[in-house]
Amino acid sequence: EVQLVESGGGLVQPGGSLRLSCAASGFTFSDHYMDWVRQAPGKGLEWVGRTRNKANSYTTEYAASVKGRFTISRDDSKNSLYLQMNSLKTEDTAVYYCARDSPYGDPFDYWGQGTLVTVSS
Amino acid sequence: DIQMTQSPSAMSASVGDRVTITCRASQGISNYLAWFQQKPGKVPKRLIYASSSLQSGVPSRFSGSGSGTEFTLTISSLQPEDFATYYCLQHNSYPQTFGQGTKVEIK
């Protein structure tokens, strides 16, 4: 069974940093592209960024709203995905989901349960 | 960036109704379009990928169609468990972008 479990959310002050983790199981993690998607309270879904797999050099893509502040990485030996968030702003407050892309390139066939990040003073 | 516009933003419908939700892209995206369902407090769930392919385990009353700039999600006979918010997503180019959502409520 595919499982994605996020952790690391919490309360952080504006300008602070936080690192989210996503532990994957039930599939060959190293084969898949992985994404982060967020949802601000009461709002819609927003794609944050993607990491490709080893075969595609672990390259990354980011939404303009987070580029230069957020970094996506992965450790295939630990079946884990990460989101390093720096220079956090109040508008980064959201539930952050990790999501898997299918082996055929179609996005978000499985999602984690999400972790809440609150940026507030 | 490609803008995805869903219509309607909200709707009321009755059990058994046929429901159609439209998603328009600001430029052509071929068939790189997926649909998601999200119930309150729950994780989004993929219903449709590649515009018209039904996700495994999703009831056949859900269907998708379209190519280029106009897409539809159809629920052939609305069931009580289908009351939710639906989102389209384009993944033709970066940044991947979602529609604003369509909330389907009970009439």
Cα dihedral across residues A41, A43, A49, A55: positive or negative: positive
Pick the residue from chain A with its C-alpha nearest to B43: A113
CA of A17, closest CA in chain B: separation in Å? Answer: 23
pLDDT tens readout for residues B2-39: 999 999 999 999 999 999 999 999 999 999 999 999 99
Q: Is the pLDDT of residue A103 over 90?
A: no
Mean pLDDT, residues B84-105 taken together: 97
- Amino acid identity, position B25: A
Residue identified by tokens 């079946």 is: A79
pLDDT at B107: 86
Q: Which of B94, B17, B24, B7 is nearest to A65 (CA)?
A: B94
Spatial separation of the C-alpha atoms in residues B31 and A91, rounded to whole Å? 32
pLDDT tens readout for residues B48-79: 999 999 999 999 999 999 999 999 999 999 99
pLDDT tens readout for residues A58-71: 999 999 999 999 99
pLDDT tens readout for residues A6-47: 999 999 999 999 999 999 999 999 999 999 999 999 999 999
Spatial separation of the C-alpha atoms in residues B97 and B88, rounded to whole Å? 8
Spatial separation of the C-alpha atoms in residues B28 and B32, rounded to whole Å? 10
Q: Does B52 touch chain A (CB under 8 A)?
A: no
Between B53, B91, B101, which is nearest A107 by CB? B91
Q: Is the pLDDT of residue A104 over 90?
A: no
CB contact under 8 A, B34 and A46: no
